[in-house]
Structure 1
Amino acid sequence: MRVLGVDPGLTRCGIGAVEGRPGAPLKLVAVGVVRTSADDELGARLVGIERGIEQWLDEVRPDAVAVERVFAQHNVRTVMGTAQAAGIALLCASRRGLPVALHTPSEVKAAITGSGTADKKQIGTMVTRLLRLAEMPKPADAADALALAICHVWRGGSQNRLAEALAKASRGRAS
């Protein structure tokens, strides 16, 4: 199963893809960020995020997409921007008929580190180990996107099997 993880944000939207299945070693497919300028107007930034995610979907061709579930923070402006970027990721994946899962930050932290309160450095360290990378993915948004993808591979259960079957069927029709 190939999963694209999206750590939504207006300035830096982390994107990372892994391939694997529960109980087997994971493989890094790609990792990076979609960036927009804080100086641009909101509409232009959302279009930039959409273009970036669409390009990643074209290149990575995931079987499923995992997006961080937006949670209430103290800064309403930050929450709104994060929610808008998450909505773009959901739209792009859904437009292609890809299964989309939302995972909370604490769920991802617990899956990756064993602790739902792990900090960014702990997540980055475990992502580096799990994917057998020479160095930690940077920025942290990219490592968080990989953590989302890993969490989904491990915890997707029946959703993973269904997504795999659908992806194989659609690839068969495209040939």
Structure 2
Amino acid sequence: MSRKFTPTPSKNPEANPIKVIAVDPGYDKLGIAILEKEKGGKERLIFSECFSPKIKLAGEEKLLSVGREIERLIKQFRPGYLALEKVFFNQNQKTVMKVAEVRGVIIYEAKSFGLDVYQYTPLEVKVAATSYGRSSKSEVAGMVRKIIGINDRKARIDDEYDAIAVGLTFFAYFRP
């Protein structure tokens, strides 16, 4: 299935601003953020959310719901890049497999629209956000608020801050 997508100026590394959709993937909830940065400028948060597919949906329906949300955001904000946190392997293999499926849907949607995909380990994200690879979630959130200048009253949860941190990581490592 091929989709028509007109490349955006943000896909061109020389364009201003460069725009990225950043995702902290999860099975029951995903942190999603859209950030942009002008050449030589500061990162700016355009949008963020914690997306939760309906709990009662069957596995395949959850994946479809995630795909539709990513597609909607790509169409709305027209980023040129996807930044995605890599799967963290823990003891629960079922969870790892479910998150891997979600990541596959996200990557599929991004590639369907012609986005370049960049993936980062949790360590790379923590180092980019806090300069310390063993930072806690609250330390990452605190630095994200400081770097981006978040002072609004919107309640955000860890997944959302993690997605913003993934976007900051993209800008820290990206070289046109």
- Change beyond 3 A, Cα 1:72–1:120: same
Confirm or deny: 8 A CA contact 1:66 1:152 kept in the other structure. Answer: yes
2 CA distance for matches of 1:22 and 1:137? 30
- 4+ residue segments displaced more than 6 Å: none
Aligned mate of 1:32, from 49, 58, 61: 49
Output the amino acid matched with 2:24: D
Would you say 1:149 and 2:167 are equivalent positions? yes
The one-letter code sitting in structure 2 at the alignment partner of 1:73 is: N
In 2: Cα distance, 1:93 partner to 1:137 partner: 27
Normalised TM-score (structure 1): 0.85
Structure 2 residue 133 is matched with structure 1 residue 83: no
Aligned to 2:67: 50
Structure with higher helix content: 1
Which of the residues 3, 6, 13 maps onto 2:30?
13
Could you tell which deviates more after superposition, 44-53 or 70-79? 70-79
| % same residue | 28
Q: Which residue of 1 aligns with 2:147?
A: 130
1:5 and 1:146 in contact (8 A); partners too? yes
**Runs of 5+ in structure 2 lacking a partner?**
1-17
Deviations 1:8-45 (A, max 9, x none): 11211110011115753111110002211332210000
Instruction: For 2:174, give the aligned amino acid.
Output: G
Counterpart for residue 3 of structure 2: none
Amino acid at match of 2:162: D
Pair 1:139-2:130 in alignment? no
Shift in Å, 1:124: 0.6
Q: Quick one: which of 100, 116, 136 aligns to 2:117?
A: 100
Of 104, 112, 133, which aligns to 1:116? 133
User: Structure 1 residues 69, 141: closer, same or farther in 2, change over 3 A?
Assistant: same
Alignment RMSD: 1.5
